[in-house]
Amino acid sequence: PEGFLNEVHVVIHTLSLNPEVDADIAAMIGVSAALSVSGIPFSGPIGAARVGYINGQYVLNPGQTARKDSQMDLVVAGTEAAVLMVESEAQQLSEEIMLGGVVFGHEQANIAINAIHELVREAGKPVWDWQPAAKDEAFIAKVKGLAEEKLRAVYQIRSKQARTQALREANASVMAALKDSGEPFEGGKVNDLLFEIEAKIVRSQILEGEPRIDGRDTRTVRPIEIRNSVLPRTHGSALFTRGETQALVITTLGTERDAQRIDALAGEYEDRFLFHYNMPPFATGEVGRMGSTKRREIGHGRLAKRALVAVLPSKEEFPYTVRVVSEITESNGSSSMASVCGGCLSMMDAGVPMKAHVAGIAMGLIKEGNRFAVLTDILGDEDHLGDMDFKVAGTTNGITALQMDIKIQGITKEIMQVALAQAKEARMHILGKMQEAMGEAKAEVSSFAPRLTTLKINPEKIRDVIGKGGAVIRGLQEETGT
């Protein structure tokens, strides 16, 4: 709950694994159960479920074998009353089928929630009678009086850089005024109060029908610019810009030997499609450490990869290993979806015969009571100040990836329907821009890319290809560098 500052450390150990069943759903339910029996303040329990879609039917928690025939791999988690998280990839399914999967998964997740309630009754520790610290209403009113008008003026500035600078100056002036008053205060608490005031200003403006932070209405996508083949020496490249978010995406083609070999819990496997996402600190005008890949970068890369997998050619059609790298050069909201768009265009530029164009869009939500507004193509500030981050990627035929993070309870099926419909409208707009920039994949791969030729050899002649002691085949490998 808000105001609970004690550190909580939950450790998950996978001690035994059925290769047919991923440990992720069991882990989420286990964490929920552990928190519930601990007695600490917790607005749970939550349940989780995996949903497949096979032969027109939703399937609960399909195993690895069944998932090969499934058109959907969707994970949903939530409380008894509300969905809190959705993560999915799909084979170009409609909004109605995807929403049905979310509703089905949420209903089935309640089975786990009921079991946790029973566990708590039998083994739960005494509930911690924790209460948040009392609020200093007089101090809150004082900060509000010093800051509100300044912050309202800040959020009339449409440029992110100018707005960020004005926000720093407004916050600094409030701190200086408090210091001059001689009243003791904690800087961290003042910053929290300032954030709350910012949120109320932005949220109320949107719900009242006023322009958003950058002047748009709730349905408008920021201006889009696309450049293909921007890097002359790479196998394929694209520069995708949407507003103040830009992704430079590069595709490299390799042979079967370049496939990534992964030693997972369920066993070893090879992956011939790699997607890597990098966002350096300068993309948001910050100074920061640049080292190993961070959790956020891994997650964004996986989301973009899921969005594109459905439209990749088969190994028989295109035997290359494909590596896509998205370098975020500037970011003000939804860089992962810019990576999806740029990734699709970059692969087409490299000559990968994609089945269709894929575009992605990030949606937001502002909700107060029964009033709500769904926002198309959210900014970074709207993500921080809003109630939902809802990312949808797909083709003209349907959805290929879906990710939903919800910060509040009370998101209804009707709100999700509105969000999906609005996201489809935006996706079609972006797909139109992408098709204008590049109608189809290049007919030939780059002259710098490896050339793969498949020959069928008569089984009776194989020994001649190998040669005595492997001399012939070794010579071919040395000559061709393969």
User: Does 195 lie in the same domain as 170?
Assistant: yes
In a domain, 416, yes or no: yes
User: Does 423 lie in the same domain as 391?
Assistant: yes
User: Does 296 lie in the same domain as 269?
Assistant: yes
User: Does 184 lie in the same domain as 51?
Assistant: no
Distance of CA 266 to the CA centre of its chain: 25
Q: What is the CATH number of the domain that holds 36?
A: 3.30.230.70
> What's the confidence (pLDDT) of residue 478?
85
Distance CA 251, CA 351 (A): 10
User: Does 354 lie in the same domain as 420?
Assistant: yes
> What's the confidence (pLDDT) of residue 479?
83
User: Does 341 lie in the same domain as 248?
Assistant: yes
> What's the confidence (pLDDT) of residue 115?
97
> What's the confidence (pLDDT) of residue 409?
80
Please state the pTM of the whole predicted model.
0.89
User: Does 273 lie in the same domain as 176?
Assistant: no
Dihedral of the alpha carbons of 311, 300, 432, 429, in degrees to the nearest 10: 130
Distance CA 6, CA 215 (A): 40
Q: Report residue 466 as tokens.
A: 């190998």
Which residue stretches of the chain have pLDDT < 70? none
- Of the residues 148, 182, 207, the one at which a domain ends: 207
> What's the confidence (pLDDT) of residue 480?
75
User: Does 153 lie in the same domain as 238?
Assistant: no
> What's the confidence (pLDDT) of residue 453?
76
- Of the residues 88, 123, 158, the one at which a domain ends: 123
> What's the confidence (pLDDT) of residue 109?
96
User: Does 366 lie in the same domain as 232?
Assistant: yes
Range of the domain at 61: 24-123
Structure-token match 């089975």, residue found: 111
Domain tally, the chain: 4
In a domain, 15, yes or no: no
Q: What is the CATH number of the domain that holds 198?
A: 1.10.10.400
In a domain, 11, yes or no: no
In a domain, 28, yes or no: yes
User: Does 162 lie in the same domain as 278?
Assistant: no
> What's the confidence (pLDDT) of residue 326?
98
Residue 326, φ and ψ in degrees, nearest 5: -105, 115
Does the bond joining 45 to the residue before it have cis omega, within 30 degrees of 0? yes
